């Protein structure tokens, strides 16, 4: 009888013989990708190091006429400019070494110089652009090396600190010209580049993943999908925790300044008083009341129209008593008009167990992960049961933008109580649709239908707009229950009841909650919101739709040559009234090329009619498109034009586009030129769409990491703009 060792040896020899060629191919590819990433990091991203090796460094410390204290030059509000004359040498770069032990801050420097092409300091004119200001972080050594593009010998050089938000005095160690750039191997940049190279290799048109059919090779395809989902979850989790100022969790190594000094992990409040609405509601619910504990000021209760922001602000100035912003105010009490389901899921249990406020960002992360898992499972369900030729490569090529471009990355960027209801609704929606899909093909559909309808119904307690996705029940169940008359059987009646009952139960609970607060079963309280405009009189106005349609759908992105290369989009309107708007960055049809396939929806659906006699996919696509338009217009009418609202409807259009790509793929013969062209074009539009969505995550914005820790954000800029 063979021993265990012999059995293991036999199995290893068999596997190595069977897969030896594939393993060797992967090893060679891995070595090449690793070598390319190393070459780029060492020789390209450190080009300034090699370029500066032959420079002759000039120390200018003796020419600095500033007061010194403990060996450090002191830059003050009175004396914040340094000028050097009669240099008469070529200047390639400038090294300004600030003392890293001083409080961290970002400094904006204006550098001027004269050279053989300019006898005087020059600045921007009508037809030219002068030397731009540059940001230097006292904590980022890379930012202290500044490349200068001069002509011939430099005569004079002036360095001036500009801007108002500077904390003086600033300690300066030294200034030198033509300094040697230090060699810097960034593991972060190396890892990102290696990851991008791996993606390029994986999704190249000749990749083996396009030959793995997810229907015929289930084990291999599921392994690939699970691996991809795990990587995506790790990436989005890392990104969310990167914005540490909005997370609300502290440990000895993370958010140390808010750590309590004894716990393994503790929570703390972030975002100010206004951001604690859900936590305060949990405290009120624990006491059996539906309004917040904080009592509105008397001046607010005495106002004839407390919803007029201008009048509120004037009254607040006169009395000096603040009020809560962006909460519902009704008959002398503050209420939370955001959906109550996240409070019941997260805040109330957490408060009852710990007595502390639940960290909102963790709720956003949990529901974001739920969305990623549910979205992947739902897409897998459609691909396996409604199409025959979907490969692992095509699945992943469409799953990535379906998640990355859906708007959830922006919710991860700002994981606040504004984002949580949207993320929760998206998470419930995809799982509800998945359970419905499972029930349609299950021998015991009722449990799946109950769970699916419960998820879909709970959306009303998170983000009511997304209830539009419940309309997908019509194309999913129409043929079985109406056309085939299954509804008129005993089993059909039981299944129909299982689909409806969760909606009824949740509706009764929400209506009772609304009635107890506002005396109306349909009033969620949004009209009583103390916000930028009087919601009680906002109403519906068709004039608001045109700027919303342009901003949400059609506006091209505004780009620049400086990281992260995307800027806020300009906004102009002819609507002669108040428009509620926050900064946005372009419309989805202009910024996400993957959606351009929607222009050919009619033609592609005709192809589908030749493939299948059923109209399920046809109906699903139509409902998704109608729902997306409806939600976007409702958002514009009822609330305004805000970047986070893109997550309300982007998923619908992306899901419809994904199904259209599946249909096109079904009509292509495998291993043909047409299929290769299709894959190559798809790779391009997916890459551009995902790139835009990723860059959106790093645009500097008020309240984000770049605003709270600008000196640390400067390090990210230096990693990308390695040539400066």
Report pLDDT digits (tens) over 642-688: 999 999 999 999 999 999 999 999 989 888 889 899 999 999 999 99
What is the predicted pLDDT for the residue at 542? 86
Instruction: Say whether pLDDT at 1 is over 90.
Output: no
Give me the mean pLDDT over the 418-429 stretch.
Answer: 97
Residue 341 has which token pair? 């389901």
Domain membership of residue 275 (yes or no) is: yes
Indicate whether 108 belongs to any domain: yes
Number of domains composing the chain: 4
Residue 45 pLDDT greater than 90, yes or no: yes
Helix (H) or strand (E) run with residue 566 in it: strand 566-567
Percent of the chain residues topping a pLDDT of 90: 81
Confidence of residue 26 (pLDDT cuts 50, 70, 90): confident
Q: What is the pLDDT of residue 610?
A: 74
Residues 568 and 660 reside in one and the same domain: yes
Tell me how far apart the alpha carbons of residues 546 and 568 are, in angstroms, rounded to a whole number: 19
User: CB of 529 within 8 A of CB of 523?
Assistant: no
Band (547; pLDDT cuts 50, 70, 90) = very high
Q: Is residue 219 part of a domain?
A: yes
- Distance, in Å, from the CA atom of 310 to the CA atom of 427, rounded to the nearest integer, reads 38
Clarify whether residues 419 and 330 are in a common domain: no
Contact assessment for residue 406 and residue 648, using Cβ atoms and an 8 Å cutoff: no
User: Is residue 448 domain-shared with residue 557, that is, in the same domain?
Assistant: yes
Tell me the pLDDT tens digit for each residue of 191-239: 999 999 999 999 998 899 999 999 999 999 999 999 999 999 999 999 9
Residue 576 sits at φ, ψ, to 5 deg, of: -85, 65
Q: 3-state SS string over 77-134?
A: CCCCEEEECCCCEECCEEEEEECCCCCCCEEEEEEEECECCECCCCCCCCCCCCCCCE
Encoded tokens for 111: 């550098």
Q: Contact 212/323 with Cβ under 8 angstroms?
A: no
User: Per-residue pLDDT for 94 more than 60?
Assistant: yes
The CATH number assigned to the domain holding 151 equals 2.60.120
Residues 6+ apart with CB under 8 A from 619: 474, 475, 476, 478
The pTM is what?
0.93
* Strand spans (E) along 469-563: 558-559
Give the pLDDT confidence score for residue 163 in this predicted structure: 84
Instruction: Pinpoint the alpha helices (H) of 387-418.
Output: 392-404, 408-413
Per-residue H/E/C for 246-262: HCCEECCCCCHHHCCCC
Please check the confidence at residue 13 and state whether its pLDDT lies above 70: no
Sort 624 into a burial class: Cβ within 10 Å, 0-12 / 13-18 / 19+: buried
Verify that 65 and 210 share a domain, yes or no.
Answer: no
Domain annotation covers residue 198: no
**Alpha-carbon span 259 to 514, nearest angstrom:** 39
Of 288, 322, 354, the position where a domain reaches its end is 354
Report pLDDT for 563: 94
Please choose, from the candidates 453, 501, 457, 454, the residue with its C-alpha nearest in 3D space to the C-alpha of residue 477.
453
Question: Are the C-beta atoms of 431 and 370 separated by less than 8 Å?
Answer: yes
In terms of residue numbers, what domain contains 79? 58-183
pLDDT band at 2 (very low <50, low <70, confident <90, very high): low
Q: How many CB atoms lie within 10 A of CB 681?
A: 12
- Looking at the fold, whether 346 and 388 belong to one and the same domain comes out as no
pLDDT of residue 164: 84
Last residue of a domain, one of 310, 332, 354: 354
Out of 17-31, 470-484, 576-590, pick the least confident: 17-31
Same structural domain, 238 and 383: yes
Task: Give me the phi and psi of 506, to 5 degrees please.
Answer: -65, -40
Which of 354, 382, 408 delimits the end of a domain? 354
Supply the pLDDT for residue 244. 93
Q: Is the dihedral of CA 176, 178, 179, 184 positive or negative?
A: positive
Residue 253's pLDDT is what? 92
Cα radius of gyration (the chain): 30
**What is d(CA 580, CA 541) in angstroms, rounded to the nearest whole number?**
13
Q: How far is CA 693 from CA 408, 506, 631, in A?
A: 10, 35, 21
In the chain, the percentage of residues whose pLDDT exceeds 70 is: 97
pLDDT: is 517 or 579 the higher one? 517
H/E element, 162: strand 157-162
Q: What is the pLDDT of residue 344?
A: 97
- On whether the CB atoms of residues 446 and 496 are closer than 8 A, the answer is no
* pLDDT of 390 above 80: yes
Residue 164 lies in a domain: yes
- Closest by CA position to 276, among listed 268, 285, 266: 268
- Contact present, 282 and 355 (Cβ < 8 Å): no
Cα gap 404→686, rounded to integer Å = 10
Q: What is the DSSP letter of 72?
A: E
Mean pLDDT score, 445-455: 97
Per the model's pLDDT, the better-predicted residue between 17 and 587 turns out to be 587
Q: Cβ neighbours of residue 285 under 8 Å, at least 6 residues apart? A: 343, 348
Q: Whole-angstrom Cα distance, residue 658 to residue 676?
A: 18
Task: Please state, as a whole number, how many other Cβ atoms lie within 10 Å of the Cβ of residue 262.
Answer: 7
Distance CA(693)–CA(698), nearest Å, equals 10
What pLDDT, on the 0 to 100 scale, is given for residue 8?
A: 63
- Could you give phi then psi for residue 185, rounded to 5 degrees? -100, 110
pLDDT at 43 over 60: yes
pLDDT tens digits, residue range 351-362?
Answer: 999 999 999 999
| Residue of 485 and 553 predicted with greater confidence | 553
Structural contact between residues 557 and 683, judged by C-beta atoms closer than 8 angstroms:
no
Residue 162 has pLDDT above 70, yes or no: yes
Q: Do 377 and 270 have their domain in common?
A: no
Residues 321-341 pLDDT 10s = 999 988 999 999 999 999 999
Q: CB under 8 Å to 677, separation ≥6 — which residues?
A: none
Exposed e or buried b per residue across 13-26, where buried means at least 16 C-beta atoms within 10 angstroms of its C-beta? eeeeeeeeeeeeee
Q: What's the whole-number mean pLDDT along residues 38-60?
A: 96
Phi-psi region of 357 (alpha: psi -120 to 50; beta: other; left: phi over 0): beta
Whole-number Å distance between alpha carbons of 275 and 325: 10
| Rounded Cα gap, residues 580 and 28, in angstroms | 56
The burial class, CB within 10 Å (0-12 / 13-18 / 19+), for 401 is buried
pLDDT at site 613: 66
Q: Residues 429, 295: one domain?
A: no
For residue 37, the Cα-to-chain-centroid distance in whole angstroms is 26
Q: Are residues 442 and 329 in the same domain?
A: no
Name the β-bridge partners of 97: 174
Domain match, 178 and 208 both? no
Do 268 and 231 belong to one domain? no
Take residue 265 and report the two structure tokens written for it: 């992990």
* Residue at 189 is within a domain: no
In a domain, 346, yes or no: yes
pLDDT on residue 575: 86
Q: Is 625 exposed, middle or buried (0-12, 13-18, 19+ CB in 10 A)?
A: middle
**496 and 396 assigned to the same domain:** yes
What value does the mean pLDDT take over residues 96-109? 94
Residue 193 included in any domain = no
Half-sphere exposure of residue 328, counting CA atoms within 13 Å on the CB side? 22
Grouping H, G, I as helix, E, B as strand and the rest as coil, residue 586 is coil
The reported pLDDT for the residue numbered 717 is 95
pLDDT at 181 over 70: yes
| Mean of the per-residue pLDDT values of the chain | 93
């Amino acid at each position: 009888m063979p021993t265990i060792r012999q059995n293991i040896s036999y199995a290893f020899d068999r596997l190595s013989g069977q897969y030896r060629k594939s393993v060797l191919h992967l090893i060679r590819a891995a070595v090449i990708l690793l070598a390319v990433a190393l070459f780029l990091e060492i020789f390209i991203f450190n080009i300034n190091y090699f370029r500066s090796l032959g420079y002759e460094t000039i120390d200018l410390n003796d020419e600095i006429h500033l007061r010194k204290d403990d060996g450090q030059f002191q830059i003050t509000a009175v004396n914040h400019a340094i000028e050097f004359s009669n240099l008469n040498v070529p200047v390639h770069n400038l090294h300004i070494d600030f003392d890293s032990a001083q409080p961290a801050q970002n400094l904006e420097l204006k550098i001027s110089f004269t050279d053989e092409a300019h006898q005087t300091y020059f600045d921007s004119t009508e037809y030219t652009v002068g030397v731009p200001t540059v940001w230097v972080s006292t904590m980022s050594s890379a930012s202290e090396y500044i490349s200068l593009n001069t002509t011939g010998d430099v005569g004079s050089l002036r360095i001036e600190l500009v801007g108002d938000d500077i904390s003086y005095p600033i300690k300066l160690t030294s200034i030198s010209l033509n300094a040697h750039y230090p060699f810097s191997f960034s593991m972060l940049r190396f890892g990102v580049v290696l990851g991008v190279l791996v993606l390029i290799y994986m999704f190249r048109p000749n990749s083996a993943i396009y030959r793995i059919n997810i229907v015929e090779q289930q084990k291999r395809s599921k392994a690939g999908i699970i691996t991809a989902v795990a990587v995506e979850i790790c990436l989005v989790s890392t990104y969310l925790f990167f914005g540490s100022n909005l997370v609300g969790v502290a440990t000895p190594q993370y958010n140390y300044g808010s750590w309590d000094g004894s716990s393994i992990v503790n929570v703390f409040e972030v975002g100010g008083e206004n951001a604690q609405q859900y936590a305060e509601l949990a405290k009120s619910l624990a006491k059996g009341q539906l309004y917040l504990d904080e009592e509105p000021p008397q001046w607010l209760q005495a106002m004839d129209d407390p919803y007029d922001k201008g009048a509120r602000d004037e009254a607040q100035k006169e009395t000096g008593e603040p009020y809560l912003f962006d909460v519902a105010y009704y008959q002398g009490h503050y209420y939370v008009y955001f959906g109550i389901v996240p409070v019941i899921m997260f805040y109330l249990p957490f408060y009852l167990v710990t007595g502390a406020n639940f960290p909102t960002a963790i709720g956003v992360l949990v529901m974001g992960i739920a969305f990623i898992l549910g979205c992947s499972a739902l897409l897998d369900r459609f691909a396996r049961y409604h199409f025959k030729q979907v490969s692992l490569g095509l699945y992943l090529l469409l799953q990535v933008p379906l998640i990355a471009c859906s708007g959830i990355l922006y919710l991860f960027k700002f994981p606040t109580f504004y984002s949580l209801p949207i993320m929760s609704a998206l998470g419930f929606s995809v799982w509800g649709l998945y359970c419905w899909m499972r029930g349609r093909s299950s021998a015991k559909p009722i449990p799946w239908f109950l769970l699916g309808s419960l998820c879909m119904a709970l959306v009303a307690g998170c983000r009511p707009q997304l209830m539009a996705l419940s309309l997908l029940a019509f194309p999913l169940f129409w043929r079985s229950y109406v056309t085939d008359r299954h509804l008129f059987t005993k089993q059909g009646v039981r299944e129909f009841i299982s689909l409806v009952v969760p909606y009824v139960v949740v509706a009764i609970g929400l209506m009772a909650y609304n009635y107890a607060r506002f005396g109306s079963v349909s009033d969620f309280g949004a009209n009583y919101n103390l916000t930028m405009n009087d919601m009680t009189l906002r109403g519906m106005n068709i004039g608001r739709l045109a700027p919303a349609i342009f901003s949400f759908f059609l506006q091209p992105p505004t780009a620049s040559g400086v990281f992260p290369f995307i800027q806020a989009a300009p906004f102009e309107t002819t609507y002669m009234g108040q428009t509620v708007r926050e900064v946005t960055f372009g419309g989805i049809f202009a910024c996400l090329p993957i959606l351009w396939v929607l222009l050919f929806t009619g033609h592609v659906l005709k192809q589908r009619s030749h493939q299948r006699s059923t109209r399920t996919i046809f109906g699903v696509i139509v409902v998704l498109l109608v729902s997306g338009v409806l939600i976007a217009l409702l958002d514009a009418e009822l609330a305004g034009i805000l970047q986070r609202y893109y997550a309300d409807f982007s998923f619908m259009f992306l899901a419809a586009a994904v199904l259209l790509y599946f249909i096109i793929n079904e009509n292509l013969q495998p291993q043909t030129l047409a299929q290769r062209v299709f894959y190559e074009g798809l790779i391009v539009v997916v890459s551009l769409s995902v790139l835009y969505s990723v860059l959106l995550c790093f645009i500097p914005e008020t309240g984000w990491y770049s605003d709270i820790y600008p000196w640390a954000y400067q390090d990210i800029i230096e990693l990308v703009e390695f040539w400066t």
